[in-house]
């Protein structure tokens, strides 16, 4: 029997190898049993000593130096990197046309990174359907897709991820997202290859209570791999603090690169629809769309023209439509799906809102909220996770996590009437994070991770 025991905040391993739990699933396994599962699907012999990699020090992942500041890294570039672009492999479980915050983040930063000229970026992702191109050009970079299994579950078991990293030469591997089997395979392969790797967490919520409860144990089980990373990237202060506590990681190993909020130029708020409340995000219960629907009848007592427009698609749509029908709100609540790569249409639609409702139970750093703030849309958000950071900054009006429909309605009415102190109209928008800033900060993370000297920058990337 193998056990993962914790002493304080630092995990210790009993038995022959450490446990790995990964999600967003209830699946829990060790590196060796992960290999066995992958063999079941593809018969690939990845490596029988996977467990040993977790404990072996990686030459590229030296202890971070707290005294270092960005722009003053005290290592010269490797000679082989002085006369060619740095080869970076970005590994993510899914990419466009899939919908989600990670997909948006990877697309927005990658298409900007490749314009620098000193980075050669390839995106490696998966395809559960088996119908998408295995290789395609995407705005200046290549997207490679490999099969993941099973087809209709979110395990993302993809043996080719490991094989591709092991058989090809990259200067740096960047894991975008931490929930699935994909980053585990990528980190194991990078360790075996002696390639430095960076991890951006991009944590998210889940409608399953069980999966939410096992998250802390999942992060602790991944801590040996996370400790071996060159750097760890959080998208919010909340996320950084959470992983520090859960995994006993050093603060100096973290950098914060926030999601951008900028949308296509020229899109403004000239066509605001009076009383319109927008709730944006995948149609899952934890996203909280049902809460704004429940509050709408109370809002309409003060603002009779109030309506709710939900932007998204997902498995919870039938339940939402049943709720709309049960409350007799068919004329006042609409649901629309906007393709994730149609940024102009998304911007135009968000610009029609009188207020944004961000009532998700968990968002590390919500892209939809950042986009609304960039447009100057007053926002009411649940005071939890990354939205709590924005409430603390005074950008979002907060309501408690257990807020009643009456409390939510009262705050939405105030937002629609322009009575919120935290309305973006009362705060500068020039200092909001942008995708250009995120890409610049991430490039500096890459340079630091491979011991290169980054160019001087005034980007102001936060050091945790």
The answer to whether residue 85 is domain-embedded is: yes
Taking only the tens place, the pLDDT of each residue in 242-264 is 999 989 999 999 999 998 887 77
Mean pLDDT of the chain: 79
State whether 160 and 222 are in the same domain: yes
State whether 80 and 172 are in the same domain: yes
Taking only the tens place, the pLDDT of each residue in 186-214 is 999 999 999 999 999 988 544 455 455 66
Residue 152, pLDDT score: 76
CATH number of the structural domain spanning residue 303: 3.40.50.2000
Residue 64, pLDDT score: 35
Taking only the tens place, the pLDDT of each residue in 79-136 is 456 678 999 999 999 998 887 778 989 999 999 999 999 999 999 999 999 999 999 9
First to last CA, the chain: 38
Per the CB < 8 A criterion, the answer to whether 211 and 26 are in contact is yes
State whether 168 and 313 are in the same domain: no
Per the CB < 8 A criterion, the answer to whether 366 and 384 are in contact is no
Taking only the tens place, the pLDDT of each residue in 302-347 is 999 999 999 999 999 999 999 999 999 999 999 999 987 787 888 8
Distance of CA 386 to the CA centre of its chain: 11
State whether 311 and 371 are in the same domain: yes
Residue range of the domain that includes 449: 3-260+437-463
State whether 284 and 232 are in the same domain: no
State whether 75 and 204 are in the same domain: yes
Residue 156, pLDDT score: 87
> Taking 70 as the threshold, does the pLDDT of residue 31 lie above it?
no
- CB within 8 Å of 226: residues ≥ 6 apart: 199, 232, 243, 247, 249
């Amino acid at each position: 029997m193998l056990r993962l025991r914790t002493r304080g905040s630092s995990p210790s391993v009993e038995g022959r190898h450490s446990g790995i739990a990964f999600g967003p699933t209830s699946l829990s396994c060790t590196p060796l049993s992960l290999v066995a599962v992958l063999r079941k699907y593809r018969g690939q012999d990845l490596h029988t000593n996977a467990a040993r990699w977790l404990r072996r020090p990686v030459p590229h992942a030296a202890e971070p130096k707290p005294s270092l500041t960005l722009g003053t890294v005290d290592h010269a570039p490797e000679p082989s990197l002085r006369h060619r672009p740095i080869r970076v492999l970005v590994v993510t479980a899914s990419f466009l046309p899939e919908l989600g915050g990670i997909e948006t983040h990877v697309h927005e930063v990658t298409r900007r990174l490749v314009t620098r000229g000193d980075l050669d970026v390839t995106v490696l992702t998966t395809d559960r359907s088996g119908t998408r191109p295995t290789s395609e050009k995407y705005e200046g970079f290549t997207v490679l897709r490999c099969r993941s299994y099973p087809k209709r579950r979110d395990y993302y078991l993809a043996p080719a991820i490991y094989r591709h990293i092991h058989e090809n030469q990259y200067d740096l591997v960047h894991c975008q997202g931490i929930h699935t089997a994909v980053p585990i395979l990528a980190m194991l392969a990078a360790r075996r290859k002696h390639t430095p790797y960076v991890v951006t967490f991009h944590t998210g919520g889940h409608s399953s209570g069980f999966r939410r409860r096992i998250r802390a144990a999942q992060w602790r089980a991944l801590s040996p791999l996370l400790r071996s990373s060159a750097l760890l990237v959080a998208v919010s202060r909340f996320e950084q603090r959470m992983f520090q506590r859960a995994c006993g990681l050093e603060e100096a190993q973290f950098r914060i690169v926030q999601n951008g909020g900028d949308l296509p130029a020229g899109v403004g708020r000239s066509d605001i629809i009076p009383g319109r409340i927008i709730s944006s995000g995948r149609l899952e219960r934890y996203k909280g769309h049902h809460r704004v629907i429940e509050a709408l009848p109370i809002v309409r007592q003060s603002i009779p023209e109030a309506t709710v427009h939900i932007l998204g698609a997902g498995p919870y749509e039938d339940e939402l439509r049943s709720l709309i029908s049960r409350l007799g709100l068919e004329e006042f609540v609409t649901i629309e799906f906007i393709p994730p790569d149609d940024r102009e249409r998304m911007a135009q639609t968000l610009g029609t809102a009188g207020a944004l409702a961000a009532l998700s139970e968990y968002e590390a750093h919500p892209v939809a909220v950042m986009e609304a703030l960039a447009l100057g849309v007053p926002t009411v958000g649940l005071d939890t996770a990354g939205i709590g950071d924005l409430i603390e900054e005074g950008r979002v009006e907060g309501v408690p996590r257990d807020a009643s429909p009456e409390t939510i309605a009262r705050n939405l009415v105030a937002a629609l009437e322009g009575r919120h102190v935290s309305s973006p109209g009362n705060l500068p928008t020039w200092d909001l994070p942008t995708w250009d800033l995120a890409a610049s900060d991430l490039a500096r993370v890459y340079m630091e991770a491979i011991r290169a000297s980054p160019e001087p920058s005034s980007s102001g990337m936060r050091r945790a």
